[in-house]
Amino acid sequence: MEKRFAAPESVTEGTSAAAAANTWRWIGIVALIVIAAALPFGLSKYHVFELTMVMIYAIAVLGLNILTGYNGQISLGHGGFFAVGAYTAAILMHRYGVPYWLTLPPAALIGFALGVLFGLPALRFEGPYLALVTLAMALATPQLLKYFDTWTGGQQGINLAKPTPPAGLGLDRDRWLYFVALVVLLIAIRTAANILHGRTGRAFVAIRDHPIAAAAMGIDTAKYKTLAFGISTLFTAVAGALAAIVIGYVSPEGYSLFLSISFLVGSAVGGIATIGGAIVGGFFIQFVPNLANDISDAAPWAIYGLAMLLFMYTMPRGVVGTLWPRIVKFVAARKIAAQFAVSQREGR
């Protein structure tokens, strides 16, 4: 169990190799952003909408990765926090006429606060026990949403007015929302990277790898575990708010237990202790069920399960968790070989 969560950062082959990998990584990241920005102009509106959902799921999975991958706390309840974000946005837009983009900060705030509150009792539970506690959140969400129907619209849900893209950009609604999601995703990734590659992130990983040793080193484990919960649910709630804006409708049926499980699957398939894995996870959540349905009407979930097995068997640390260290190693090895060749020649 512990091994599976081992951070790819532990793969370091000397400073020059790491620097080389870093350069390549930046080139890769910039190329990806350029492609992401150009993509909507070459695709139909429907495919743009699908990719928008991929990015939204990626933000949610990123939140889960922070908690489960980096801090070792398993959550089966993130669909519930996704719903909290969605309903925050929906209620603010529908009842108070708040513009859609202004609903993201309150969704983040409420997501964070609820996560911290939820993180407090979670301190007492570990591993499968925590999974069960969070499962309660996922199970209760649809029914609670129906119960508070004066706020949530009950079974009927809430229909939201479609956001209008700013005039003058010449973008239609789908492409505009794509860019909104892209910007939020980039901010989310940058924020996650800052947190995880710094002091806080090291504390998260230390607690995951060995809580007693972490405490002995002076890390306030209770504080960091709660913080990990709060940050994680903040990301997921923002994703939920974005999803409500893009879909234009919220109702209890949209936030079943299956959504929470989907997030965990996406997280594991992408690479649970990686940031890039969240994007792969987003693709998996959005496309694999549809692909499975296209392959077999009769047993789409059998195909889905098969795809999951295949991924986990061939890439046990997820797509990014397995491939990225190999790429780093490959680049480093070539760099070392080149340097070796140069030094050999100079030596002669």
Element (H, E) at 158: strand 158-159
What is the 3 state secondary structure string of 6-45? CCHHHCCCCHHHHHHHHHHHHHHHHHHHHHHHHHHHHCCH
Of 158 and 272, which has the nearer Cβ to another protein? 158
Element (H, E) at 159: strand 158-159
The conformational region for residue 44 under phi > 0 = left, psi -120 to 50 = alpha, else beta, is: beta
CB of 7 to another protein, least distance (A): 33
CB of 282 to another protein, least distance (A): 14
CB of 146 to another protein, least distance (A): 7
Of 15 and 143, which has the nearer Cβ to another protein? 143
CB of 156 to another protein, least distance (A): 5
Of 258 and 340, which has the nearer Cβ to another protein? 258
Residues near another protein, by CB under 8 A: 44-46, 49-50, 53, 143, 146-147, 149, 154-157, 159, 162, 243, 247-254, 256, 258, 293, 297, 300-301
The conformational region for residue 170 under phi > 0 = left, psi -120 to 50 = alpha, else beta, is: left
Of 5 and 255, which has the nearer Cβ to another protein? 255
CB of 192 to another protein, least distance (A): 24
Of 66 and 292, which has the nearer Cβ to another protein? 292
Return the structure tokens found at 156. 């009927």
In DSSP notation, 248-262 reads -EE-GGGG-HHHHHH
The conformational region for residue 157 under phi > 0 = left, psi -120 to 50 = alpha, else beta, is: left
Report the Cα 246 to chain-centroid distance in Å. 18
CB of 2 to another protein, least distance (A): 35
Of 220 and 294, which has the nearer Cβ to another protein? 294
Smallest Cα–Cα separation from 137: which of 55, 74, 203, 196?
A: 74
